[in-house]
Amino acid sequence: MSDTHPEELLREVAALPSLPGVYRYFDADGQVLYVGKAISLKKRVSSYFQKNHGGTRIGHMVSKIVRMETTVVRSEAEALLLENNLIKTLNPKYNILFRDDKSYPYLKMTGTPPVPKKLAPAEPPVAARAPQPVEFARVSYYRGAVEKKHRYFGPYPSAWAVKEAILLMQKVFRLRTCEDSIFANRTRPCLLYQIKRCSGPCVGHIQPLDYAQDVANAERFLKGEAQDVMRGLESRMMAHSDKLEFEKAAELRNQVAALSNVLHQQSVDNVSDRDVDILAVKVQGGKACVNLAMVRGGRHLGDRPYFPVHVEDASVMDVTDEGASALPVEVQVLEAFIAQHYLQVPMPSVLVVSEPVSKALMQALAEQTGVKAAAVHQPREQRRAWLEMAQTNAALQLARLLSEEGSQQARTRALADALDLAMDNLDDLRIECFDISHTAGEATQASCVVFQQHKMQNAEYRRFNIDGITGGDDYAAMRQVLTRRYSKIAEAVREAKHSGSTLAGNARLPDLVLVDGGKGQVSIAREVFESLGLDLSLIVGVEKGEGRKVGLEELVFADGRDKVYLGADSAALMLVAQIRDEAHRFAITGMRAARAKVRTGGSKLEEIPGIGPKRRARLLQRFGGVRGVEQASAQDIASVEGISRELAEEIYRALH
């Protein structure tokens, strides 16, 4: 095996130290093949080059290695953390990789924590001043970086779970959800107050300290202290009743009833576990699913599936330094998830896992996160029930994925056969589709969506703002977007042919270019490709059929071939329609956003001399929107920071 590798690489391997560290393998194109960790770099890396791996996957990978990089670290824990950071950054082909998706949502409580009643200063009468938003914490859905001045509960597995929690906060504790700008400008309570989902702090229907007590109870409930909250409410209710304060006692009675109903409906588990993550892994058919279920505050909030890539290739790569057999693939997948996931997401103190995970991994995460978590492999009682539920969901989610992928692969194969596309590997088939969208010529945009690996590649979608054309001229828009998309790639193709080199990965032409339209759109695409010196056989137009009915579409070719009707039940046509419809959806959403930006009422303000983005933002924040500014008097407008009396009168005249 060593005869096929550069001498310099073999010398580097021989000179490696017997210290813990991380190594990276690269191929001839500079692409990262594999990232690994080792207790002893010398022993671990040498094992790749001293053995004959034959025609196995590991042998195929080793044969591609032309360069290596290593980093020495102080401990196995540091090696593990660095390894997984590099895996997420470099996306190596032979590592199990969990791609980042959207960040987790949280439930957010604004403002500082409530002041205990006995320490709070005396409150002036409600009529003495208007209620201030800062005095009344707002509960809201939040996704993003957390700030210390607010409190966050979660993370939650889905947006739905957060919204359910917010609804609970409204039903039981009647906390406000309105924006501060709306709160500060209300003179009458909103509908939520009428249906008993808010206590009306905006108009002084509740004192700040009473509201703070509700916020404190809500936070204790979210932390899992539901029974304590219930007992506290019952105690306060009886105290008011003893004092003959029956109206307040009735309000607390209603709150107790609402909380009792919620606890019954949600089957809140009265267990010692407050915050637990349950992790179940299922591997089948070269694919894997890790199902993450979350328990927060003793409540099961739901679960979320994760599907790693490179499972089949990576499963043969992870052998020990001593050369022992690899860990079961389920363990490899689960450990990869834990290592990569909890580098960026808060880790609870207990992980319930379907497979045993190494103590070194948990120790490394404890050093990284500062949370000493226990990994429970064979749980009992309630934890066992949670794990069994997570395992069932993992199996169901993986079965769904395999079913969808099988169907999608069949569609890809059908399209390749129908169009005689010579593809050695259908996974590499790349299709780009273009669509034009506008409203009466306004805010024209072109969209480009990408299909590869048998699925839409959302991260590679692009929108193009179309300028310098007559409004509504779709042909000119198509000419512009195709020229902008492929001119640089065409230049790279010519240079590669001239120099005899290969194209870089980001300069690759698609195997098929779909345009939404018939002969007219295809003729424009043909002109662009001819001017760029590109292959005309790549272009296919999707022409509406008779009566523009779905399923009657015909394919139009730029290279002179006759039209093709695939048939309404054709798997190939289903794929073409799927890609075309996605391009149309992407174009429509972009066009609507652009149009809204053009037509937004806020632009009325910026058209007024002396009103820039900062003053406009202050006005909108103070009055809750353009309509609020229109309804304000000149005197009210002048009270905004940075707005003089003269400018306020000018704004008032411009809006009236």
CATH of the domain at 353: 3.30.420
For residue 454, what is the DSSP state? T
Mean pLDDT of 175-180: 88
Per-residue pLDDT tens digits for 348-367? 889 999 999 988 888 888 88
What are the CA-CA distances from residue 472 to residues 437, 475, 541 (Å)?
A: 9, 9, 20
Q: Are 432 and 570 part of one and the same domain? A: yes
Q: How many separate domains does the chain show? A: 4
Shared domain check, 516 and 477 = yes
Give the end of a domain, one of 596, 614, 635: 596
Q: Which CATH number fits the domain that encloses residue 75? A: 3.40.1440.10
Q: Which of 39, 57, 90 is the last residue of a domain?
A: 90
- 436 and 291 in one domain? no
Residues 535, 617 within the same domain: no
Q: Do 460 and 577 share a domain, yes or no?
A: yes
Whether 337 and 431 share a structural domain:
no
Among the candidates 32, 66, 90, a domain finishes at 90
The mean pLDDT value for 605-611 works out to 73
Does a structural domain hold residue 133? no
521 and 650 co-located in one domain:
no
Asked if residue 490 lies in contact with residue 533, where contact means CB atoms within 8 angstroms, the answer is yes
Amino acid 304 reads R
Residue 524 is predicted with a pLDDT of 92
Bridge partner list, 153? 107
- Cβ pair 364, 387 in contact under 8 A: no
Which of 480, 466, 474, 432 lies closest to 583, judged by CA?
432
Distance from C-alpha of 139 to C-alpha of 572, rounded to nearest angstrom? 48
**Exposed, middle or buried, 28 (CB in 10 Å: 0-12/13-18/19+)?**
exposed
What Rg, from alpha-carbon coordinates, does the chain have?
Answer: 31
Residue 551 forms part of a structural domain: yes
Which has more confidence, 239 or 648?
648
Answer yes or no: is 138 within a domain.
Answer: no
Specify whether 439 is located in the same domain as 557. Answer: yes
Q: What is the CATH number of the domain that holds 518?
A: 3.30.420.340
424 class by beta-carbon count within 10 Å (0-12 exposed, 13-18 middle, 19+ buried): exposed
**Do 534 and 645 have their domain in common?**
no
Query: 596 pLDDT band (50/70/90 cuts)?
Result: low
Q: In this predicted model, what pLDDT tens digit does every residue of 208-261 receive, in sequence order?
A: 888 888 888 888 878 777 667 777 767 777 777 777 777 767 776 776 676 666
Residue 617 lies in a domain: yes
- Give whole-number Cα distances, 474 to 399, 447, 466, 539, in Å: 43, 12, 10, 17
pLDDT score recorded for residue 591:
61
- Give the confidence band of 324 by pLDDT, cuts at 50, 70, 90: very low
Q: Are residues 469 and 364 in the same domain?
A: no
Closest CA to 83 of 361, 372, 330: 361
Q: Is residue 392 part of a domain?
A: yes
The Cα 117–Cα 124 span in angstroms is 15
pLDDT of res. 268:
43
Instruction: Report yes or no on 250 lying in a domain.
Output: no
Query: Would 375 be classed as within a structural domain?
Result: yes
- Give just the sign of the alpha carbon dihedral 37, 43, 45, 48: negative
pLDDT in tens, 260-313: 665 544 444 445 667 899 999 998 877 899 999 988 877 788 888 998 887 876
In this structure, the answer to whether residues 620 and 567 fall within a common structural domain is: no
Query: Tell me, what CATH number does 606's domain have?
Result: 1.10.150.20
Q: Are residues 592 and 610 in the same domain?
A: no
110 domain residue, yes or no: no
The parent domain of residue 307 ranges over 276-319+326-399
Instruction: Give residue 113's pLDDT.
Output: 53
Q: Which residue has the higher pLDDT, 626 or 104?
A: 104
442 pLDDT above the threshold of 50: yes
